[in-house]
Amino acid sequence: MSKKSTRRTFLGRSAALTATAGVGYFSSTTPRLFAEETPMQKLSAACIGVGGKGGSDTSHIADNGVQIVGLCDVDGDTLTKKGREFVDAKQFNDFREMLDQLGDKTDIVTVSTPDHTHAVAAVKAMRMKKHVYCQKPLTWSIAEARLMRETAEETGVVTQMGNQGTSQDGLREGVEVIRSGAIGDVSEVHIWSNRPVWPQGQGRPAGSDPVPENLNWDGWIGPAPMRPYKAGAYHSFNWRGWVDFGTGALGDMACHTTNLSVMALNLWDPIAMTAIKNQGIVEGETFPGSSELMFEFPERDGLPACNFHWYDGGNLPPDRITSQLPASFRSRIEALKNDPSQRKTSGAVVVGSKGILFSPDDYGGQYVLLPSEQYVDFKPPAQTLPRIPFDSGVDERQKWEFVSTIKGEYEPGTMSNFGYAGRLTETILAGNLAMRAGEGQRIEWDAKSMTSPNVPEINQFVSRDYREGWALEGLMEAANA
């Protein structure tokens, strides 16, 4: 059998895997392996969104021996700057145009745009049989996450979401520790974030400004309702807090901070969400400046029922939780309580019947078991999850995993593929529905139909109406309650 046919056979198999992988340790002597060996293995990529995180996504894909043949960005200045790095790549300010023109010249598409255009770009690429790397959160809406997951499965392409902490040994080992029963049965999870670090809790700015000559404003708006350009309000970073474009603090960071817990505990398909503290969506425009949410999960796969608590904007878990943390971290929390201007913290606490696992890291790459005296002689359980045999930063490791899977050189496959990432994103974005309801309103949730039976008015926010020219064909709409 030829190498090419072997690779194709492998890709069909690996892309169908649902990532339940984990983490281990790799020596710093592990060789750096790049992907350019033979013409048969040569891959090409077209990159959508090449500024900020998209800039590093593009470069890291190239570092793995992939030829960058197309660059797309609605900001002409950003496009020109990245074009100096990849002088042979064709430049576009509309990804639809790029994919139509380069469809037969590229194997990989990266999507590193604001949340609201992820699905439109990625679904088009997958339907063209392109392997897709898409930044987190996977999508802007719950229905889009479902469609992305199903499209990846139907097309058999290799996929990966950019929650790069997934590639860390500490996260994968932490998953194994929880699954081993080292902290007992888990009844609650508490996760807090130092976000938002962008404007939220405000209405739409009045007036408009001239659209910069080098900005494709129509392309930036994409499938969202058109609105006037206002300098500094949305483009290029502040879009995260606006409900038409971003997914707020929860959408931005929970794909990182909840990753370890969700994977270890199969926290899929909550049965209810409640906004414990909820300032509400401000004028229908932005997410609140702070929130506290609770997700309820039933018994699943032999695991006991569990509640997951989320805190952002300076909100923190109760003292009964934070009092169990290491003294050095407790002092940071106390300082923040006394002076809200202090640098905010992030953390995750998984509460078990025997002890707790605490991660002070946005990506879940570090963990400690508490109380410490109880785990002095603790040894991690036997490895059950694959490790990435590539020593580099977390971003580069995840890109190596993605490209090597496409080439058929890494058999475990991508860990945060859309089968896994789609479910993670659906779970997370269900929390944003709670912010649409009043404080303390318990929203019952039927994840299969993507509807709430008791608060039907929030079902309209499971999807959206798409602007002409940007429709997402085949999008699963929530059933009428």
> For residue 416, what pLDDT band results from cuts at 50, 70 and 90?
very high
| pLDDT confidence of residue 16 | 36
Residue 75, φ and ψ in degrees, nearest 5: -95, 110
CA distance linking residue 33 with residue 54, whole number of Å? 22
| pLDDT confidence of residue 335 | 87
* Residues in Cβ contact with 403 at an 8 Å cutoff, skipping those fewer than 6 apart: 35, 43, 61, 64, 65, 66, 108
Structure tokens at 365: 């790459």
The stretch 316-331 carries a mean pLDDT of 94
The stretch 244-261 carries a mean pLDDT of 97
pLDDT in tens, 341-363: 888 899 999 999 999 999 998 99
Q: Is the pLDDT of residue 276 over 90?
A: yes
> For residue 4, what pLDDT band results from cuts at 50, 70 and 90?
very low
Distance, C-alpha 381 to centroid of its chain: 28
Residue 265, φ and ψ in degrees, nearest 5: -115, 5
CA distance linking residue 94 with residue 220, whole number of Å? 9
The half-sphere exposure of 433 on its side-chain side, counting CA atoms within 13 A, is 33
Q: Is the pLDDT of residue 477 over 50?
A: no
Are 26 and 387 in contact by the 8 Å Cβ rule? The answer is yes
> For residue 35, what pLDDT band results from cuts at 50, 70 and 90?
very low
| pLDDT confidence of residue 41 | 56
471 CB neighbour count, 10 Å cutoff: 12
> For residue 475, what pLDDT band results from cuts at 50, 70 and 90?
confident
Listed residue (5, 23, 31) closest to 361, CA to CA: 23
The stretch 81-110 carries a mean pLDDT of 97
Edge-to-edge strands, sheet with 368-370: 368-370, 356-359, 347-352, 186-192, 306-312, 291-297, 272-278, 442-444
Q: Is the pLDDT of residue 20 over 50?
A: no
pLDDT in tens, 105-155: 999 999 999 999 999 999 999 999 999 999 999 999 999 999 999 999 999
Structure tokens at 183: 């902290």
Domains of the chain, start order: 3-167+387-419 (3.40.50.720)
> Average model confidence (pLDDT) for the chain?
90
Q: Which of 24-28, 41-45, 103-107, 298-302 has the lowest mean pLDDT?
A: 24-28
Q: Is the pLDDT of residue 26 over 80?
A: no
Are 140 and 31 in contact by the 8 Å Cβ rule? The answer is no
| pLDDT confidence of residue 38 | 46
| pLDDT confidence of residue 14 | 38
CA distance linking residue 306 with residue 323, whole number of Å? 21
Q: Is the pLDDT of residue 479 over 50?
A: no
CA distance linking residue 267 with residue 431, whole number of Å? 13
| pLDDT confidence of residue 343 | 83
The stretch 45-57 carries a mean pLDDT of 97
